[in-house]
Amino acid sequence: MPDTQAHASDFVASDPLDEENHREAALQILESPASIQRFQQRLEKMAKIRADDLAPAEKRRHFLTLGIGNFLLGRLDAGLEALRAIKSDGESALFQGRVLAAKGDLKGALDCFGKASEKRDEAALEQAETLVLLGRIEEAQKILKGPAGKRDSAQGEYLRGLVADAVGEYEDAQEAYEAALVKDPAHAPSLFRLGYNADLRGHEEEAVDYYERCLRGAGPTFVQAWINMGLLYEERGQADRAIACFQRVLERYPNHPRAERYIKDAEGTRDMYYDSEKKLRDAKVALLETPIAEFELSVRSRNCLAKMNIATLGDLLKYSEKDLLAYKNFGDTSLQEIKHLLVQKGLRLGEGKTDDIALPPGVPPEILSRPIAELALSEKTQAALQAAAISTFGELLRQSQEELEAAGLNEAECQEIRQRLSAYGLALSPPKPPEPPPAP
């Protein structure tokens, strides 16, 4: 009985690479460090084969796979050498153009795309893209008005957007990129440009969303998207996410100069932030361990606290105003005295309580003592919470949005906090009910 099961492609170990499958191959090859290593070993074995012993068709596949494979790994010189071993071939010329563009040689890339376009229509669109990047807009427009540009494709719409961007027609560019996504929702170049333009307008959340969608479709090969998204994360104070983006670039280009520089900057930012957070936490721990006896309180207040076994500031913060007033002989005068003391220290009654926070099922109570640094908030939001003396999950969860806004946070910062908490299944406190009017 014949085997009708479809062949599962294995580009890492054996299958040849070409224009039709190279995007799928990139996702498979660059999936992990292990798959990259295995593919590197495959290319090393192929490089030792005597090409002259191969039949013409097999020889072409051999050099095309070597060329495309080295290109995907960022070995641009080795890729170019292999591709140039194939003479008068449109597919080889197309990839030579891509390699030269990656090396920054746009004029050389343009020449290759021109040769490839004589045999492959899709190369004309890459030729037009290169012309735009070189500032030769009219020549690019001429190609887009020809047969290649008239094809109903996402790439054609993208290039119309690129031309519109180049001449300052930004609304037309936005419409063209969005039209490209209608034809191909995963069109990586259009997603990248939409992300880049959103970043220029200061719409960081929108930019990150477009970059993430771009990379889901393009994988590790879209280096500039990884770089830009890493920079955005660093600007937002999310150093760990920024480092992860730059590491993805270095997986493909181990000596990428900008990725190496940016990852060092992000690591420095992260270390500075964690050092600052640690100092703040240590200072607060020391403050909460301060004995009540060291503060100037009235004899009445001191005696009441001693009878309640409240020995330190940390002990005191576990009580609310209602808890203190419920104790015998503890009156409003003592309460105001203690509140005044705590305000001077940036503290408030009840902030050390944990039994008043309802946690969802499965969320351990220990989370209340964890630092808010784990939320990976933007630098601006982190600073605002520090200014409000909020440093743990418990202190944050006790706040309503109205209280955070009263402490100086804006709507965007509150929204960011809500989104981060939701990932843990948590939420801010509901709005406090208004206090009843005083009795007549």
In tens, the pLDDT along 2-24 reads 444 444 678 888 889 988 888 78
Model pLDDT for residues 265-305, shown as the tens digit of each residue: 888 766 665 555 566 666 777 888 888 888 888 888 888 88
Write b or e for each residue in 323-362: b if 16 or more Cβ atoms lie within 10 A of its Cβ, otherwise e.
ebeeeeebeeebeeebeebbeeeebbbbbbbeeeeebeee
Q: Cα separation of 138 and 144, whole Å?
A: 10
Q: Which two tokens stand for residue 94?
A: 């197309």
User: 312 - beta bridge partners?
Assistant: 291
Fold agreement between 222-287 and 365-422: no
Q: Return the higher-pLDDT residue of 366 and 8.
A: 366
Which of 303, 270, 252 shows the shortest CA–CA distance to 379?
A: 270
- Mean pLDDT, residues 137-163 taken together: 85
Contact 227, 244 (CB under 8 A): no
Q: pLDDT > 70: what percent of the chain?
A: 89
Contact 132, 144 (CB under 8 A): no
- Residue 217's pLDDT band, with cuts at 50, 70 and 90, is low
**Which of 57-61, 247-251, 401-405 is most confident?**
57-61
Please give the pLDDT value at position 218.
61
3-state secondary structure 272-335: HHHHHHHHHHHHHHHHHCCEHHHCCCCHHHHHHHHHCCCCEHHHHCCCCHHHHHCCCCCCHHHH
Q: Give the angle 412-417-421 at the CA atoms, nearest 5°.
A: 150
Contact 65, 78 (CB under 8 A): no
Statement: the pTM of the whole predicted model exceeds 0.85: no
> Would you put residue 425 in left (φ > 0), alpha (ψ -120 to 50) or beta?
left
Please give the pLDDT value at position 3.
45
Please give the pLDDT value at position 2.
44
Please give the pLDDT value at position 281.
65
Please give the pLDDT value at position 339.
86
Whether the predicted pLDDT of 108 surpasses 80: yes
Mean of the per-residue pLDDT values of the chain: 82
Q: Cα separation of 153 and 128, whole Å?
A: 14
CATH of domain 365-422: 1.10.150.20
CATH of domain 289-344: 1.10.150.20
Please give the pLDDT value at position 25.
86
Whether the predicted pLDDT of 350 surpasses 80: no
Collapse the DSSP code of 157 into the 3-class scheme (helix H, G, I; strand E, B; otherwise coil) and give the result: helix
Q: Cα separation of 194 and 209, whole Å?
A: 10
Check residue 253 and report its DSSP letter: -
Q: pLDDT > 90: what percent of the chain?
A: 18
- Residue 340's pLDDT band, with cuts at 50, 70 and 90, is confident
Q: Give the angle 411-412-414 at the CA atoms, nearest 5°.
A: 65
Collapse the DSSP code of 392 into the 3-class scheme (helix H, G, I; strand E, B; otherwise coil) and give the result: strand
Give the residue extent of every domain in the chain. Answer: 222-287, 289-344, 365-422
Please give the pLDDT value at position 21.
87
Please give the pLDDT value at position 277.
58
Question: CATH assignment of 222-287, given 1.10.260, 1.25.40, 1.10.405, 1.10.10?
Answer: 1.25.40
Model pLDDT for residues 370-428, shown as the tens digit of each residue: 778 778 777 778 878 877 778 788 888 888 888 898 888 888 889 889 888 887 888 88
Please give the pLDDT value at position 331.
86
Please give the pLDDT value at position 436.
53
Amino acid (one-letter) located at 294: E
Which of 118, 144, 147, 146 shows the shortest CA–CA distance to 129?
A: 144
Contact 131, 139 (CB under 8 A): yes
Collapse the DSSP code of 400 into the 3-class scheme (helix H, G, I; strand E, B; otherwise coil) and give the result: strand
User: 429 - beta bridge partners?
Assistant: 400
Q: Return the higher-pLDDT residue of 253 and 38.
A: 38
User: 171 - beta bridge partners?
Assistant: none
Please give the pLDDT value at position 179.
93
- Residue 221's pLDDT band, with cuts at 50, 70 and 90, is low
- Mean pLDDT, residues 148-152 taken together: 71
